[in-house]
Amino acid sequence: MSRTLKESVIAVIYGGRSAEREVSLQSGPLVAEGLRSKGYQVIELDLYGPGKNLDPVVQLQSIDFDFAFIALHGGEGEDGRVQALLEMLDKPYSGSSPLACGLAMDKVLTKRFWRGIGIPTPAYLSFVGQADADVIETKMAYPVIVKPSREGSTIGINKAVNRLELDEALLKALEYDSDILVEEFVDGPEFTITVIDDVAYPAIGLKPAPDHKLYDYEAKYVADDTEYLLPCGLNSDDENELQMLALDAYRSLGCSGWGRVDIMRDQAGVFWVLEVNTAPGMTTHSLVPMAAKYVGIDYASLVENIAKNAWDQVGRH
């Protein structure tokens, strides 16, 4: 590219129409503010915001920009559709390719792939439409985790310890997706690992308050009593193993630029990969800025690094 990123106009795209819209409405303005503080020209686009045309192509074509920072979470902002539109418009953007985003967003497809190549991930059953609770009880032992296959931010996720809770969890998951994932419960601590420019950052240990059965949406974005452990509490060898596993899982899906990998450890000390997030939250409660801050990178520098890495990658190709 002949121009530098500083000479270009960055569109921060946020909002969207997924169940994570409210989170994205927090992330987007913060990203825009961080980039502006570094001297960049920024336009904000609240995709599907009030009074906006419902055609995303029209919305993207309504503004003049050179690069897109994607601060959308879930839905078409994280499943590759917006990324594909940007490629059709010949606009470079932050984060992974459409194919990598789509694969990572679909938990069932991701787990099938990981099981095939040897990435450790909890045992599961998948269903299209109404799940058969009798089949689940025959093949899996309680407790189990029930998730919509294509949602993020632990939206629609529930733990079930008996048939009544299982039936309720299956109905709840169907509110968000027709494809349902029922997963073996891993009894142990949860960790999340930020990856930026193919580098794994220090792991964060997640410890929800006792009244939260899971590190769920409320624990992530609402509660102030969730504990974030940095350092994560592992010894150096175990944390290195955790980081390498996160990188393997991230790279295996073809992810690039930045993302976050969620992993649990069972009572025997075995790590199990849950999912990869290709457009993680960037709110005041979010984990990527927390990991960056721990290694001395402030919020504005973090979003600048993500944008510059993406811009430079396009320039190199």
Q: Is 87 annotated as a binding residue?
A: no
**Does this chain's domain 96-120+187-278 share its CATH topology with 123-184?**
no
d(CA 11, CA 60): 9
Average pLDDT over residues 262-277: 97
Average pLDDT, the chain: 92
Residues 6+ apart with CB under 8 A from 242: 191, 193, 203, 232, 234, 263, 265, 271
**Residue 272 in this model has a pLDDT that exceeds 70:** yes
d(CA 167, CA 182): 12
**Residue 210 in this model has a pLDDT that exceeds 80:** no
pLDDT (0 to 100) of residue 133: 94
Which among 96, 149, 153, 256 is annotated as catalytic? Answer: 153
Average pLDDT over residues 109-127: 96
Domain ranges of the chain: 5-94, 96-120+187-278, 123-184
**% of the chain residues with pLDDT over 90:** 79
Q: How far is CA 74 from CA 69, 119, 180, in A?
A: 15, 24, 16
Q: Is 277 annotated as a binding residue?
A: yes
Average pLDDT over residues 169-183: 91
Query: Which candidate, 155, 20, 12, 129, places its Cα nearest to that of 75?
Result: 20
**Does 153 participate in catalysis according to the annotation?**
yes
Model confidence band, residue 221 (pLDDT cutoffs 50, 70, 90):
very low
Written as one string, the DSSP assignment of the chain is: --S-GGGSEEEEEEE-SSTTHHHHHHHHHHHHHHHHHTT-EEEEEEET-TT--S-HHHHHHTS--SEEEE---SHHHHSSHHHHHHHHTT--BSS--HHHHHHHH-HHHHHHHHHHHT-----EEEEESS--HHHHHHH-PSSEEEEETT--TTTT-EEESSHHHHHHHHHHHHTT-SEEEEEEPP-S-EEEEEEETTEEPPPEEEE--TT-SSS-HHHHHT-S--EEESS-S--HHHHHHHHHHHHHHHHHTT--SEEEEEEEE-TTS-EEEEEEESS---STT-HHHHHHHHTT--HHHHHHHHHHHHHHHHHH-
The encoded tokens of residue 293 equal 């801050």
**Residue 33 in this model has a pLDDT that exceeds 60:** yes
Which among 20, 44, 76, 190 is annotated as catalytic? Answer: 20
**Residue 315 in this model has a pLDDT that exceeds 70:** no
pLDDT (0 to 100) of residue 215: 47
**Residue 217 in this model has a pLDDT that exceeds 70:** no
CATH for 123-184? 3.30.1490.20
**Residue 254 · residue 198 · CB < 8 Å:** no
Q: Does domain 96-120+187-278 have CATH number 3.30.470.20?
A: yes
Which among 44, 151, 286, 304 is annotated as catalytic? Answer: 286
Right CATH for 5-94 from 3.20.20.70, 3.40.50.300, 3.40.50.20, 3.20.20.100 = 3.40.50.20
Average pLDDT over residues 4-21: 94
Model confidence band, residue 289 (pLDDT cutoffs 50, 70, 90):
very high
What is the β-pairing status of strands 9-15 and 67-70?
A: parallel
**Residue 208 in this model has a pLDDT that exceeds 90:** no
